[in-house]
Amino acid sequence: MAFLSGLSAFPITPADRDGRVDTVALRRLIARLGAAQVDSIGLLGSTGTYIFLSREERRRALAETLEETAGRMPVVVGVGALRTDEAVRLAQDAKALGAAAGLLAAASYTPLTDDEVFEHFSTVARESGLPIIVYDNPGTTHFHFTPALVNRLAKVGGIVAIKNPTNKSDAIKSHLADQRRTLPEGFSIGYSGDWNAAEAMIAGADTWYSVLAGILPEACMMIVRAAQQGDAAEARRIDATLSPLWSLFQEFSSLRVVYALAELLDICRAEPPRPILPLPAAAKDRVAAALECLPSDASR
């Protein structure tokens, strides 16, 4: 699908300790992404702490986001849940409200088999009618999609894209080539893992699903546009200016760092949902120092 290309920006979902979404703060975040003209918004991803929110709050967050964007850019929304029937209902909600696609992870307490994941995804796609993006996120789900499983899922009607993890930058090019060779034409192939995403885009990936873009979209947009224009040197140059943040992402998790950035940028003063704790003061000071070192065009 054409809208699954370029930069997909994933913001946090500000909420109180009872899990009620702060829609004023959320709309402020979404407005920043609209002003930066990101290619799509990834609402309620892992950074958006979808798994911690009720169905009602997810609907509210999506409705507010769609009202704020007013059709100017597509909104992809997380529809993952532990139970298949719950994921179906969430995907149906998303379709009814007007989301462009659903992002579905293999979330489970009990380890899943490939056949179980195949049935889960197939059922959600079939019963919701919402285009589904396969979310391969073994860092949180502890389930990794094998090439064979991805190929099976790509043949299912309504499953239209994959969001791959990135671990080693030097393996991205061959991984992408393998998926291009085996997946159907038009099946969108994207990557997350911000510190390796520049290399993914240079290699020819369709989409960068970005955590940092949810709070600092301009710098990420510059990387994507440079890569799309074939200017690998410029994409790498800009990416290098963000290396202090990439290091903090890897040390403390991108989720905790982005919450600190939202506060430092005076966008909102939200905390991640418990039991996740905000960064301690010393770590926040390091985030502030990294922010101050960014070039002016990368820190807006």
Please identify every residue annotated as catalytic.
135, 163
Q: How many CA atoms lie within 13 A of 264 on its CB side?
A: 23
What residues contact residue 195 under an 8 Å CB cut-off, 6+ apart? 243, 246, 249, 250
**What tokens appear for 261 in the block?**
């950035």
Whether a cis peptide bond, with omega within 30° of 0, leads into 147 is no
Extract the annotated binding site.
47
How far apart CA 117 and CA 71 sit, in angstroms, is 32
In the annotated binding site for pyruvate, the residues are 47
